[in-house]
Amino acid sequence: MSSKISRRTVLKGGAAVAATSLLAACQPQTVEKVVEKVVKETVIVEGTPQVVEKVVKETVVVEKVVEPTKASSGIAEVPRNRTWIAAGMGGEMVGGFTDVEMFNPYVTGISRGGIHHIGGEGLFVYNMIGGDYHNWQAEGHEYNADFTEATIKIRPGVKWSDGEAFDAEDVAFTLNMIKGKNELTYGMDIEKYCKSIEVVDPLTVKITFNTPSPRFIWDYLTYRGSLGLVFVAEHVWKDKDPLTFTNYDPAKGWPLGTGPYKLVATSVEQKVWDLRDTWWGAETGFRDMPKIERIIVLPSMSEITQAQMLMNNELEMAFSMTPTNMQLISSQNPKVVTFCDESPYGFIDWWPVYVGFNCSEPPFDDKDIRWAISYAIDRQQIVNLAFNGYSQVTSLPIPDYGGLEKYFDAAAPLLEEYNTLEQNQSKVDAIMTSKGYSKNADGFWA
């Protein structure tokens, strides 16, 4: 919905702050402490000097030693400066997790408590900020000439956390498991696009599409933000009902993952993931072992609570801080950093706010009706009121990241002809009248 603004302008002036991440260093904390001191004081009693003792209270600043944290009973102690604590992870489940023992990544209602991006990994990974694309569990992929087939090569040496090899069987099994199941996330998408998913050899998967699908690898098999399929272990899931299986059994090491962290505790209050002793990425020389030994994911909470915890060094990451609260946090804890040190202190959000339509159903299958709705929206007013001016409009439904600038450039001639940012009530009235609509007593078109 907005005019194009360069990344530099975003950082200097008005980027969307809806997904601002704040980082606080793990460090000794400076706190105030009230102590009692006994002092001697000379007083005059009927002309005779006397020395008396008096108890006074004094506030002093002391350094609090950061002790190893024990996130939950029964698990190992980890030093605070090797522990990373995040609140929110997307905003769902305010106040407490409701999926305490549910780690099935394909049932609806599951939180982003770690199964996707801490314990799990993707075939491919896209860095939205830098615009770089990484082959991860896979070494690469190739489409045929008309994009009706895709061949994926699995990286040798990838292992599940129980030591079993991650291979083509796991990829094909997962896609076939969810295919056509409306109750499972992505189930109907896989049914729509994929005619067949088959194993060619232990490290090769072939997908045959129903129609040319040049975006399938990107849309479904590439990790970016909170999107992308997470694969499951065929040797665990093959005799399970994917609609009811919880994928949770600590005695068996479930949930399994190929990532460097394992789940060690889960409760309403938190989910705790510890660094594994071994990880395929380090064993094969693909990546170094992470330095963080424990990751604690907390449920969503109010911005005020997050701000207080950041100021007290009780969080490493929080989300969706307003510029006003960010200023307060920085003034109280200079170790807290974000994407820039100037207002609005954040970075442009990767999911622009927009109005979407089911274009296969009336009246939204009529492009003129869609244009009428677009002309009725004052986008800058939304920015000013809903975001206190700390945002920007965008002419395309994509963020203004460096890797996406070429698409803004390519669309520029069309955007001159079709101004997606125009607010024009006269055009709204003309279109709606021509379509046979009239305003009711409340002033709405009906």
Instruction: Report in angstroms the alpha-carbon separations of 118 from 64, 160, 293, 310.
Output: 30, 13, 12, 22
Backbone phi and psi for residue 201, each to the nearest 5 degrees, phi listed first: -155, 175
| CA–CA separation, 348 and 6 (whole Å) | 11
Q: Where are the domains of the chain?
A: 7-14+352-434, 29-64, 89-283
- Measuring CA to CA, how many Å separate 242 from each of 22, 104, 178, 304? 36, 8, 8, 39
Measured CA distances, 111 to 97, 206, 233 (Å): 8, 31, 20
* Sheet of strand 294-298, all strands in order from the earlier edge strand to the far edge: 21-23, 317-319, 83-87, 294-298, 271-275, 261-266
Helix axes 323-332, 303-311, angle to 10 degrees: 20
When pLDDT is averaged across residues 154-177 and rounded to a whole number, the result is 99
Q: Residue 136 in contact with residue 121, Cβ under 8 Å?
A: yes
pLDDT digits (tens, 9 = 90+) for 178-218: 999 999 999 999 999 999 999 999 999 999 999 999 999 99
Strands 48-64 and 29-45: antiparallel
- The answer, as to whether pTM is greater than 0.85, is no
Nearest to 172 by CA among 208, 143, 144, 145: 208
Share of the chain above pLDDT 70, in %: 83
**What is the structure's pLDDT at 90?**
53
Q: Into which CATH architecture does domain 89-283 fall?
A: 3-Layer(aba) Sandwich (3.40)
Strand partners, 149: 208
**pLDDT tens digits, 122-134:** 999 998 777 789 9
Strand partners, 222: 124
Q: What is the mean pLDDT of residues 370-378?
A: 97
What is the C-alpha to C-alpha distance for residues 379 and 354, in angstroms, rounded to an integer?
10
Report whether pLDDT(22) > 80.
no
What pLDDT is stored for residue 388 in this prediction? 77
